[in-house]
Amino acid sequence: MTETFYDVLRRQGISRRSFLKFCSLTATSLGLGSAYAPKIAHAMETKPRTPVIWLEGLECTCCSESFIRSAHPLTKDVVLSMLSLDYHVTLMAAAGHQAEKQLDEIKKKYKGNYILAVEGNPPLNEDGMYCIEGGRPFVEILKETAADAKAVIAWGACASWGCVQAAKPNPTRATPIDKVISGKPIIKVPGCPPIAEVMTAVVTYMLTFDRLPELDRQGRPKMFYGQRIHDKCYRRPHFDAGQFVEQWDDDAARKGYCLYKMGCKGPTTYNACSTVRWNDGVSFPIQSGHGCIGCSEDGFWDKGSFYDRVTDIKQFGIEANADKVGGTAAAIAGAGVVAHAALSALKKAKKSDSAEKVTGDN
Amino acid sequence: MGAYETQGFKMDNSGKRVVVDPICRIEGHLRVEVNLDKDNVIRNAVSTGTMWRGLEVILKGRDPRDAWAFTERICGVCTGTHALTSVRAVEDALSIKIPENANTIRNLMQLNLHVHDHLVHFYHLHALDWVDIVSALKADPKRTSELAQSISNWPLSSPGYFRDLQNRLKKFVDSGQLGPFANAYWGNPAYKLPPEANLMATAHYLEALDFQKEIVKIHTIFGGKNPHPNWLVGGVPCAINVHDTGAVGAINMERLNLVKSIVDRAKEFVEQVYIPDLLTIASFYKGWLYGGGLSSQALLSYGDLPERANDYSPANLMLPRGAIIGGKLDKIHEVDLKDPEQIQEFVNHSWYKYADESKGLHPFDGVTEPNYKPEGPNFKGTRTKIDNLDESAKYSWIKAPRWRGNAMEVGCLSRMVLGYLQPKQFPFIKETIDGVLKKLDVPVTALFSTLGRTAARGIEALYCADLQVKQLDKLIANIKAGDSSTANVEKWDPSTWPKEAKGAGFTEAPRGALGHWIKIKDTKIDNYQCVVPTTWNGSPRDGKGQIGAYEAALMNTPLAKADEPLEILRTLHSFDPCLACSTHVMSPDGQELTSVKVR
């Protein structure tokens, strides 16, 4: 009864032409170039649908919500045609015993061949009972399900790093999944949430090439997390020219100048927001006037206020660099701006002090 | 607690105990246990929140201007509403006034959330409680087309359209890989729709899945992304520039046109697909009026959507504020979030500890010390393997909030009933509800049911879709009048703040009344408390044995099949549970105990 991916597309009324167009779009969005389109097409014509078990621990469901926003491919086509979403508590029709039975059956039937996608993370305090499913600690279900998975996807900041419930002092001891799952390949797709089209691209990449995307040292797909938001930001020329927003809704804000001084974390954040953008490419945080809060970075909740300039954060090596570049440009732009840079240096010293105090309290 | 009577319900836990865990198609983790009598009628109901994250303690010591981002992550389904509540709490504490445009943009984002959330709830979280997808395979596409065209002008309604869809469904079912539709309750006698209505609703399930991603683009335009757009204390982060150089880096004419196209299409979808489907489904289920629970006796709404900026009085709100208790619909009580006598939380049956559990605590003075202890004479299982909980002991991660001592229902039904009772201020709500009741030929009391709750959500979606259009008109008119301001930065710098301040913020989240309470000391958060809609609705019992809204709504409902919890799901889903929201976040006292040790 195994059907190929292509069979499924065809019987769902998708024409060969649309199919090839989809392959070509996929190739482009993966940054592979159009030469790869025939390879993707061939893979899809010969592959059966892969079962996916999607588990949810301590989380807010923003990853699932993001996933269903995917514009290319459409979530409808992902769920009905590209994979078999066999267990997903937020979407599945069954509940209770029927849901638990479904999970058991899929684990047995596709032992070693299903993808485990995890949204959220397990809390370890109180013997794991800060997150209970079917009367048992979520962490047990997670470990059992991971044991027979082919690969594991860590959706979002929760599964990848811990996210908000793991922010200091992490009262439930919420723990990233790679700390409790061993011996399995884990692909981290961080962000709070990750971009919808990045999520579906990671999945289609795995289905298409039957391999994991190349990961960086932290376990993230290089194709989407290899560069900083700052590197590709359309406001970067304003940064280089020393043109900054100094206050919310000032003249510079209305002209779309750089948000670096308003605390933008673009210079230290690795994500695809400034290129793929959000919700079918409509915008991304910086384009809509607020700095990046760095939501795809490990521990982004505990690096000071979202409105502190990245210079205030000591652990990054590149800030001096960023400031220097901005400073040099400012020197050229005019002495007034240089004076402001001096004030900022003072502010920096003061802020670091208070930042340390906050950490101490926690 | 054996057999006893509370709030007009006779509780009897002597019959067969049935457990449903996990409850699917909700946000977060929820468990329900019920006792059935010999006729499979629910005679006792126990609802348990099964997750806890502790966000309030995490907020302690942080910059109040950052709190919106933390609290927004309480829930990614009702994304944005916690952030809005948070910035309002901070603005209340620091007496910050926001510009008119900021208020209108916030309203647009909040309305947008309601429309999106209600639509996704109806089709993707709730519809399968009423719609049997497998039955759709037997439908006649031609008659399905006739049905669709008789109720709406929606263009996707030809016999060929439904035939194609049916063929896809058939092949999907034949493949044996049913994905999210596997192992469900298809064929259960509690499903009442004819195959043609099932096929039409299934088509719209898929269309709504495609369309919902368009609706949220309003959040993306103003807030940069969805889920979890960005907000700002003092206004909104997006600047407006429609005339000058650099407009492309701000809200400009192109952006406003994009918003316009979305609000128009959203209204069209709600009017031509959602509402006709709702009425069709309701017409087949109007004999199934179980699930009223507390709705005919105790309703609460904080109100939302200020017409003019900075005026949060009931007369200026486009969603009603008020409380009804004791079933007295002719008396709408004033609601004050800061009155220590009104809102209080109890923990007699929650896994938390108070020094004196005979008393409730107002959120400003809230204490949340976790105390996980599954116990009681009827508890079965172990600490990490729960077979049966005992409702006479502590049994939930949700606290029990009470309004003047009463368990309350919050949400769409509360808002729509409160609007219906005040036709002068809310003529749209009154007229729409009357129209729906007339069309279905049911009395007004039919509102107090599972179906009534589901209908109220649709009516509210219609109301909000209409308001979205109007709020955009208002925004454009204000810009045209020369006002482009979007943020008040007078108190952005913490050095301008008083040494100590406290405030409360509220919204009506899609699921109901949402409040945040903040205390600020030396420019940092000293205490932060949230009481959220699902804390109200999913509340466990209190010290007097009063049951919460979920528990009440499940009472006296017959199950067609004792081993298939379809009716339980139907009623719980009508509230749109959100457990990540409800599971109480803890206060500064008592949290260090675990956190320090583990790190």
Contact B76 A62 (CB under 8 A): yes
Residues B116 and B219 in one domain: yes
B97-109: buried (b, 16+ CB within 10 Å) or exposed (e) per residue?
Answer: ebbbbbbbbbbbb
The DSSP string of B98-148 is PPHHHHHHHHHHHHHHHHHHHHHIIIIIIGGGT--TGGGGG--HHHHHHHH
In chain B, the residue whose alpha carbon lies closest to the alpha carbon of A60 is B75
Is the pLDDT at A40 greater than 80, yes or no? no
Contact A92 B25 (CB under 8 A): yes
The model's pTM: 0.91
B361-380 pLDDT per residue, tens: 999 998 888 899 999 999 99
Query: A342: buried, middle or exposed (CB in 10 Å: 19+, 13-18, 0-12)?
Result: exposed
Q: Which residues of B touch A61 (CB under 8 A)?
A: 27-28, 75-77, 580
Q: What is the predicted pLDDT for the residue at B567? A: 97
Q: How far is A39 from chain B (nearest CA, A)?
A: 26
- Within a domain: residue B147? yes
Domains contained in chain A, CATH given: 49-224 (3.40.50.700), 229-361 (4.10.480.10)
| End residue of a domain, out of B438, B467, B489 | B489
Share of chain B above pLDDT 70, in %: 97
Contact B250 A256 (CB under 8 A): yes
B426-467 pLDDT per residue, tens: 999 999 999 999 999 999 999 999 999 999 999 999 999 999
Q: Return the top range by mean pLDDT from A210-219, B147-156, B244-253.
A: B147-156
CA B284 to each of CA A200, B131, B287, B556: distance values in angstroms, whole numbers, following the listed order: 38, 11, 8, 21
- Within a domain: residue B23? yes
| End residue of a domain, out of B489, B519, B539 | B489
Q: Which of A65, A126, A280 sits opposite B227 (nearest CB)?
A: A65
Residues B283 and B384 in one domain: no
Residues B74 and B101 in one domain: no
Q: Which of B31, B134, B171, B183 to mutate to test the interface with A (most CBs of A within 10 A)?
A: B183
Q: Which of A11, A49, A71 sits opposite B177 (nearest CB)?
A: A49
DSSP, res B409: E
CA angle A56, B570, A52 (to 5 degrees): 30
Q: Which of B76, B492, B596 sits opposite A248 (nearest CB)?
A: B492
Q: Which residues of A touch B567 (CB under 8 A)?
A: none
Is the pLDDT at B357 greater than 90, yes or no? yes
Residues B382 and B237 in one domain: no
Task: Give the residue from B510, B472, B463, B508 showing the smallest Cα distance to B267.
Answer: B463
Residues B367 and B511 in one domain: yes
Measured distance CA(B334)–CA(B404) in Å, rounded: 12
Average pLDDT over residues A110-121: 96
Q: What is the predicted pLDDT for the residue at A360? A: 32
Q: Which of A11, A164, A244, A358 to mutate to test the interface with B (most CBs of B within 10 A)?
A: A164
Q: Which of B172, B247, B594 sits opposite A171 (nearest CB)?
A: B594
Q: How far is B16 from chain A (nearest CA, A)?
A: 16
- Within a domain: residue B330? yes
Q: How far is B431 from chain A (nearest CA, A)?
A: 33
Those residues with Cβ within 8 angstroms of residue A321's Cβ, 6 or more apart along the chain or in another chain: none
Q: What is the predicted pLDDT for the residue at A11? A: 61
Cβ–Cβ contact A324 with B under 8 A: no
Query: B331: buried, middle or exposed (CB in 10 Å: 19+, 13-18, 0-12)?
Result: exposed
Share of chain A above pLDDT 90, in %: 68
Q: Could you give the ipTM of this predicted complex?
A: 0.95
Q: What is the predicted pLDDT for the residue at B599? A: 23
Contact B246 A254 (CB under 8 A): yes
Cβ–Cβ contact A322 with B under 8 A: no
Cβ–Cβ contact A75 with B under 8 A: yes
Domain that holds residue B544: 1-94+300-305+323-418+492-599
DSSP-derived 3-state class of residue A246: coil
Measured distance CA(B354)–CA(B361) in Å, rounded: 9
Q: What is the predicted pLDDT for the residue at B478? A: 98
If one compares A354 and B44, the residue with the highest pLDDT of the two is: B44
- Within a domain: residue B426? no
Average pLDDT over residues B165-172: 90
Average pLDDT over residues A284-301: 98
In chain A, the residue whose alpha carbon lies closest to the alpha carbon of B80 is A62
Q: What is the predicted pLDDT for the residue at A41? A: 73
- Within a domain: residue B439? no
Is the pLDDT at A313 greater than 70, yes or no? no
Contact A95 B24 (CB under 8 A): yes
Q: How far is B326 from chain A (nearest CA, A)?
A: 34
Q: What is the predicted pLDDT for the residue at B549? A: 98
Residues B122 and B153 in one domain: yes
A252-277 pLDDT per residue, tens: 999 999 999 999 999 999 999 999 99
Model confidence at A44, in pLDDT bands (50, 70, 90)?
low
If one compares B504 and A338, the residue with the highest pLDDT of the two is: B504
Q: What is the predicted pLDDT for the residue at A16? A: 77
Contact A167 B245 (CB under 8 A): no
In chain B, the residue whose alpha carbon lies closest to the alpha carbon of A157 is B73
Contact B60 A361 (CB under 8 A): yes
Cis peptide bond prior to A48, omega within 30° of 0? no
> CB pairs below 8 Å between A and B: how many?
348
Cβ–Cβ contact A144 with B under 8 A: no
- Within a domain: residue B282? yes
Is the pLDDT at B132 greater than 90, yes or no? yes
Q: How far is A159 from chain B (nearest CA, A)?
A: 14
Average pLDDT over residues A130-155: 96
Cβ–Cβ contact A302 with B under 8 A: no
Q: Which of A49, A91, A97 sits opposite B180 (nearest CB)?
A: A91
β-pair partners for A58: A121
Under 8 Å between Cβ of A128 and A139: yes
B92-106 pLDDT per residue, tens: 999 999 999 999 999
A87-101 pLDDT per residue, tens: 999 999 999 999 999
Q: Which of B73, B350, B394, B511 to mutate to test the interface with A (most CBs of A within 10 A)?
A: B73
Q: Which of A80, A90, A169 sits opposite B57 (nearest CB)?
A: A169
Angle formed by the axes of helices A37-46 and A16-29, nearest 10°: 120
Q: What is the predicted pLDDT for the residue at B176? A: 85
Measured distance CA(A272)–CA(A84) in Å, rounded: 27
Measured distance CA(B366)–CA(B46) in Å, rounded: 25
Residues B179 and B228 in one domain: yes
Q: What is the predicted pLDDT for the residue at A5? A: 66
Contact A63 B244 (CB under 8 A): no
Residues B116 and B243 in one domain: yes
Contact A94 B220 (CB under 8 A): no
Those residues with Cβ within 8 angstroms of residue A217's Cβ, 6 or more apart along the chain or in another chain: none
Residues B476 and B359 in one domain: no
| CA A144 to chain CA centroid, nearest Å | 25
Contact B225 A285 (CB under 8 A): yes
- Within a domain: residue B318? no
Task: Give the residue from B599, B76, B511 showing the smallest Cα distance to A119.
Answer: B76
Average pLDDT over residues A142-150: 97
Q: How far is A126 from chain B (nearest CA, A)?
A: 7
Measured distance CA(B62)–CA(B580) in Å, rounded: 21
Residues B109 and B144 in one domain: yes
Residues B174 and B230 in one domain: yes
Contact B239 A132 (CB under 8 A): no
Query: Which has the minimum average pLDDT: A26-40, A259-273, A285-299, B447-461?
Result: A26-40
Q: Which residues of B touch A254 (CB under 8 A)?
A: 239-241, 244, 246-247, 249-250, 484
Q: How far is B51 from chain A (nearest CA, A)?
A: 4
No. of H helices and E strands in chain B? 18, 19
Q: Which residues of B touch A172 (CB under 8 A)?
A: 52-54, 594
Cβ–Cβ contact A350 with B under 8 A: no
Q: What is the predicted pLDDT for the residue at A215? A: 97
| End residue of a domain, out of B462, B489, B516 | B489
Q: Which of A93, A256, A280 sits opposite B249 (nearest CB)?
A: A256
Q: What is the predicted pLDDT for the residue at A209? A: 87
Is the pLDDT at A348 greater than 60, yes or no? no
Q: Which of B66, B79, B206 sits opposite A65 (nearest CB)?
A: B79
Number of domains in chain B: 2
Cβ–Cβ contact A118 with B under 8 A: no
- Within a domain: residue B401? yes
Q: What is the predicted pLDDT for the residue at B89? A: 98
Residues B204 and B351 in one domain: no
Contact B228 A135 (CB under 8 A): no
